[in-house]
Every structure is written in C-alpha cells, then in structure tokens.
Amino acid sequence: MNNALIQAIFDQTGADDGAEFLEILRDVSSHGADQGVSGFIYYSETSEFFAAHRALILEQLRNDADDMGADSVIGFVASFGCAKDLSEDEIGRALYSNDADEMVANCLAWYALEACAWFSDSLCGDESILVGIAA
C-alpha cells in the first residue's frame, strides 16, 4: 500500500499517534468503515478526502483489482457493498473525471480506509511500518 495514502488516512482520522491509528485500523478490520470512524463519517468528509486523494485511491484500486483477478476497476468497485446502488457509469465518472457523486466518493473513501486496515492485518503483528508513517 502506498505510504502517502496511509499517511492521508492517518491524518484524516485525527489519530494522535501510531498506536491510536493501529487501534482504529483494528476496529475497521473487525467492523468495517461504516461503523463510524472519525474523519470518515459525513459525506462532506469522505467527498473531500476522495477528491484530495483520488489518484492514490485509484492506484490502490488498480492494484487490488489486479490482485483479485477482477476484469476491471469499475467492476471491482461495483462488487463493494457500499456500491450496490451505484451504476458503473457513476463509478467510472468518479474514478476518471472530476464528477464524483457523494455516494460514490463516500464508498471509495471507505474502501481506502478498509484497504489500509487489511494492509495492517497482512503485516502479521509487524505494524512498525504503519507506526513509522503515522509518527
């Protein structure tokens, strides 16, 4: 996962330090982004986060879609629970233009947060990379 995206997520959560950030990621891993994570609750927050970090989120989506064997990034996003009411056209406009519906932006901001939590899980207890980034 891109260090700049991890840092952006850390900043968005408002965590005081790496230890608090890891606790947030553990909660997200267990309960999902829709549980209500500071900085990722309101559409105004998630839309702003997505707009500011669209390129980093798209890069992560491409990597994850490829790793999962998805036919396309848009199809990969369409498979998300938060995207169940979204059309592929709405998803594509959000990803590849500056025309992001707030529901799409919210879904993709939550994806970034959950991807960071999954990355943290994959470190198998060696989260020093995350603590170092979020210092």
- The residue segments making up the domain with residue 64 are 3-133
Give this prediction's pTM. Answer: 0.89
* Count of structural domains within the chain: 1
Residue 80 is given by DSSP the state S
Determine the pLDDT at residue 7: 93
Q: Alpha helices of the chain — where are they, by DSSP H?
A: 3-13, 18-31, 43-67, 73-78, 88-96, 102-122, 128-133
**Tens-digit pLDDT profile for residues 46-104:** 999 999 999 999 999 999 999 999 999 999 999 999 999 999 999 999 999 888 889 99
Angle of helix 88-96 versus helix 102-122 axis, rounded to 10? 80
Determine the pLDDT at residue 19: 86
Determine the pLDDT at residue 135: 53
